[in-house]
Structure 1
């Protein structure tokens, strides 16, 4: 076996006359260094993962000049879990933190005596994540099987209980940190006093935005998309602040459904143009998604608990038996599957792919359902957990990784902001629109 040489890897990627996929895969297979007694050099400031990612971005970038050949449009999809928001905001909840709830909001629907009899709740204690799963499961059973409802439970107060739980989730999020509500005066998601890490993340996505072109009428270059398990507004904030102050990401982001209203106004882009559009698909719903009959609106305003109880957002809450039968999810899921299949690069950020999330694992599997689908495709897995654990998890999702090394997997142990910082250090700065 040869010694892993990042420069050789970069040369293979950057040489337009080379067979990129075969070259990269062969080098990655040879990436087992020989044992040596020589003292190891200091760790490089830029990881191999960041170097390879930016080399792929350069490879897929559109070409300029009078004789430049057209490039295909390459989809780079970010699958963002709770760790993505955590990298943006250190106070953002991860794991089960979001599902430890106060009982006060629930008491707006029923007094503590009723809550104690129905769910075993205590006004002096918080609702634990396990209790929440049981409550949601109980509500699901009441709704699905009316015959098992207790004497004083009906469709109306089931809906009130569900609304109260969602109000409690919003309250818990704002207890841990703060949702970044839309600012109508600025027509933007504000980014006041951004941290260094936030500026690095915005710079990273601004750099990727500059790699897309459609001025000739033919969409080419790199197109970024987002699939997220998160309810919050972090991605919207990033996308809005990548653009100039007088522009809005609402014009370019397809949500998998067409809202009839955004904030307080009509949807100005009911049908998107392909060369301008990126996906933002929230597979667990979002705090802003409200139902209006068979339609939806996006409301990013701060609302009182009573308003949320009466008009709850569409969010999937943890239960003993996940129920994705809501029409919203039936609308979103086919869009997720198609996007996975059409993507060339998948970047998984801050998501552990737990075994309980079998359906979400199935979605990710659509990126390369068969070994042949994985040839020429890349997965970057960015997370603070051990690289060996990340690879083991992906091998369970993509069995072909074990025998055929397809798709090509590159792991990065660290925060997304650290990865973004390394990437932008390798690329010329994109002018700040501010």
Structure 2
């Protein structure tokens, strides 16, 4: 084998024939070529592109409509004339920058040259005064408040040509004025509405029940009085605009029931004290409940007034259990109420006057005390008047209109038969 690394043998890297190096000839300058290796030939580069036709403005704007000449008179028809009283003042020119500075010369040359004067800032010449615009012309309308609408075009006349009148003055038609919606009409007239004859008949029926209960005994009378007290509490709350005030109605009715039971359990001399004690306790309860009630102070005071008065009126109905001559007293109430509600001919005050006279005569006829008829009749008229106040509803007439004549007369009957008779 031949040792490739042995220089004495014909192989290896060390025994390759050496080529004599030829001296490089003198380098000839090559011609300048394009950076991409080929010269640029515009004709050869654009051989495959289609020829560009010459631009024809007439053909390019064939589809566009013709532009009519501009007529200032037609364009400013709706504008009012402008009158110039004097020339417009011309503001002095404002320079936002300083003129450019001259380049500095070397010191050696600057000594031999005269300093170059700076150019003076440009001053604008004053503008001539503007010519006044004539107030009216063939294409102008004076200022007016009339409406304008376009007229039909005249055949053969170009819109906007001098002398054309594209708009015509049309007088403005008066538009109908729509009145604002009327506010809901409030109630007019007297707020006193009489309950009528039907509540008076029901009052007479309740008086008959009281007379029958008094004839049967204290317990029967107490049951009818309890019914009267419940009707009184409901009517009083509805009359004062507090409905449905179920808690107040139940509290007032409970005060009346408690007073009835206290009178039935008391002896003959302790009945009045039982009624007064019941009133005091329930009035204190009402005061505490309304004081700590989480509501507006004004509403709290109003609720306290209504609930306190309802408690007093309801509990005072119990005085019928302590009074004498109960059938005569409630009979006088029924007679006065019926005559006051009857549709009698004559003036309006005739019915109440006749009712009061009839109540007094009834007391004399049955041999009752002298003040019984007059006080019972007066209480009936007052209760009916109270039930007719402040535009009451039918519910008020069926509750307060029925119960208040008897409720107001109850303490008066006791006063006439016990205090004044004794």
Larger strand proportion of the pair: 1
TM-score in terms of structure 2 length = 0.21
TM-score in terms of structure 1 length = 0.20
Structure with greater Cα Rg: 2
Larger helix proportion of the pair: 2
Bigger relative CO (Cα 8 Å, ≥ 6 apart): 1
